Amino acid sequence: MKKLLTALVLSMILFGCSTSIPVQMTVPPNLNYGGARTIGVIPFTTSSEDASEATKDLRYYFSWYNSRALHDDLKLASALTSKVESVLASSDYFTVISTEQLQQQAANGTITAEAVVTGKIASVLDDYNKEYNERTDADGNTTKVPEYTREAQITVVFKILSASDLTVLDTIEYTVTAKDTANKYEALKSKEAVRFQAIDRIVNKVTYDLIPKTYTEYRTMAKLENDKDPRVERINDLIKGDFYQEAYDLYMEIYSETSDFAALYNAILLTEVMGDYDKALDDMTQLAKTSGDKRAIAQMNRMKKQKADREALGE
């Protein structure tokens, strides 16, 4: 217990004096949208349909889509289309053009979407089984109890297409199985219900790949060689008040007087926090080269990775 308390006190000493700035980061989705920020959704197809003749442009696609005959798998495809549209709309990152809006735009030749999400229900496999399990009661009597099981295995191929010519930008495939079990046939879910359960599971899985993810990182200021400098307290107050430019100026003032690595390091982090990502990367790269300090090298590598993320997001 004494060791634990000592560790906690040491942790407070080490980290309590550091000034950290929370920043919201966005990681691009696993699927490639080609930098598009305005996304449309076009109806998903089924394994029994051939849309190859409808891939010229969106006007041809919707003309083909509206000529299809309704069948059970189309209900799944329609539900999948609606759910994917809702997933995309839940992200503040994208501007989403609904299927209905996109169809109207295609008819008028005024398409505003830069990329579209669609796909195909490649296969639907249903299974039904009845078996008996032995159960023994408190008196030792054994009876056979029926168990009914219904399964649905569905494979869906998701595609990201260029809205202008429907060329494929990226694709991913998911296969999931949904199952329901009951001791009475009347209590067993219908084939359709189990299928829709599988569709929900697919949507839950693909959500991770479809939309960007946000999280919080912290930019922690390094301790100056002379942490008794009265300007340090002033800098901390400025940072807490979001006066980053003023804090930057003081760090650069200290660096010009002392050549303290930490002062320049902190100033570069503030440059990044203020949104000048390219300058921050250039300055941190130079600092890493001249100092060889592992902190600067780590920040340089992080900035390079996050620059690639911003480019993938079209920023």
Q: Which residue has the tokens 């942490």?
A: 227
Does 110 have pLDDT greater than 90? no
What is the reported pLDDT for 49?
A: 54
SS3 category, 14: helix
For 133, the token pair is 């399990």
Ramachandran sector of residue 236 (left: φ over 0; alpha: ψ -120 to 50; beta: rest): alpha
Q: How many CA atoms lie within 13 A of 211 on its CB side?
A: 19
Neighbours of 25 (CB within 10 A): 13
Least confident of 48-62, 79-93, 145-159, 262-276: 48-62
- Mean local confidence (pLDDT), 218-240: 94
| Domain locations in the chain as residue ranges | 38-214, 220-312
How buried is residue 254: exposed, middle or buried, by Cβ count under 10 Å (0-12/13-18/19+)? Answer: buried
Residues in the chain: 315
Q: What is the pLDDT of residues 240-274, one digit of tens each?
A: 999 999 999 999 999 999 999 999 999 999 999 99
What CATH code would you report for 220-312? 1.25.40.10
Mean pLDDT computed over every residue of the chain? 86
Q: Percentage of the chain with pLDDT > 70?
A: 86
**Are 153 and 125 in contact, with CB atoms under 8 Å apart?**
yes
Rounded-to-integer distance, Cα 116 and Cα 63, Å: 17
Does 147 have pLDDT greater than 80? yes
**Are 215 and 27 in contact, with CB atoms under 8 Å apart?**
yes
**Are 296 and 284 in contact, with CB atoms under 8 Å apart?**
yes
- Mean local confidence (pLDDT), 149-177: 93
Q: What is the pLDDT of residues 27-52, one digit of tens each?
A: 888 898 888 889 999 888 886 654 44
What CATH code would you report for 38-214? 3.30.160
**Are 178 and 195 in contact, with CB atoms under 8 Å apart?**
yes
Sequence-ordered list of residues with C-beta below 8 angstroms from that of 86, at least 6 positions apart, any chain: none
Q: How many CA atoms lie within 13 A of 262 on its CB side?
A: 11
**141 phi, psi to nearest 5 deg:** -80, 135
- Mean local confidence (pLDDT), 216-243: 94
What is the reported pLDDT for 15?
A: 37
What is the reported pLDDT for 151?
A: 96
Q: Is the CA virtual torsion 163, 166, 169, 171 positive or negative?
A: positive
What is the reported pLDDT for 35?
A: 83
Does 129 have pLDDT greater than 70? yes
Q: How many CA atoms lie within 13 A of 263 on its CB side?
A: 19
Does 120 have pLDDT greater than 50? yes
What is the reported pLDDT for 74?
A: 78
